Amino acid sequence: MKLKNLTALLTNTLGTPVNQSMLALSLGITRQTISNRIKNDSELTVSELSKIEKYFNVNLTNQAKGLSSDEIVIDYYPDVFASCGNGAIIFSEEKECVLMPRRFFTTYSRTKSYSMIHARGDSMSPFINNDDKLIIEHSDGEQIVDNKVYVFCYKDEFFVKRLSKNVDEVIVKSDNPIYSSRIISSKDLKELNIIGMVVGMLRTI
């Protein structure tokens, strides 16, 4: 079993978030070691799995057998918000691993990485409402696809907007007609960092 999958499995089994510090404590290693192993897509040994089962008092072997091949492990940042309005502050970079059914993704690739954050504001309504959870397919330097919705950082603030690319500028559009479009000119494009495209959403009821 991969270590990144274990975090999500424990969170779902226990019904409470399990973070890297808790995993490190259960294995008697440092949090940084856990973080490095997750980044390297490390596998758990049988003895490590046994230690974790004993520490959390769960049977992970049977739980893992019940996992659907249609479930995808993604990073969830419960305290990170992308603004649909005038820019939002990132309050925390603490993350959890969660299992997400494939049906929530409009597109999915095993070669891509994904995460989930919250939306804040109403300028993308009705497509995105305040506090909806957004599934992001992280950008790897790809060109902007016109009229797709992206999460991006501009001048140290995070936004979720519909983007279109001209030769030397990017047009930033809102779905809510009461908000006007804006243009990021060529001289300011260096301050634009595309985080990724929105490829799924969990609606807040």
pTM of the model: 0.68
| Between 99 and 205, residue with greater pLDDT | 99
Where are the chain's structural domains?
A: 3-65, 71-202
Convert 29-58 to b/e letters by CB count within 10 Å (16 or more is b): eeeeebeebbeeeeebeeebbeebbeebee
Cα–Cα distance for residue pair 18/87, rounded to 1 Å: 30
Q: How far does the chain reach from its first CA to its final CA, in angstroms?
A: 34
3-65 matches 71-202 in fold: no
Strand-pair category, 114-120 with 133-138: antiparallel
ω before 126 within 30° of 0 (cis)? yes
Per CATH, the number for 71-202 is 2.10.109.10
| Whether domain 3-65 has CATH 1.10.510.10 | no
Confidence of residue 62 (pLDDT cuts 50, 70, 90): low
Q: What is the mean pLDDT of residues 47-52?
A: 85
- At residue 178, the pLDDT reads 93
Q: How far is CA 158 from the centre of its chain?
A: 14
- At residue 90, the pLDDT reads 53
Cα–Cα distance for residue pair 160/130, rounded to 1 Å: 11
- Residue-wise pLDDT for 67-123, tens only, equals 555 678 788 888 787 777 655 545 456 777 777 888 889 998 878 888 999 998 999
176-181: long-range contacts, CB 8 A cutoff, minimum separation 24:
176/84, 176/122, 176/123, 176/124, 176/125, 176/126, 179/85, 179/123
- Residue-wise pLDDT for 144-195, tens only, equals 999 999 999 898 888 999 999 988 899 999 999 999 999 999 999 999 999 9
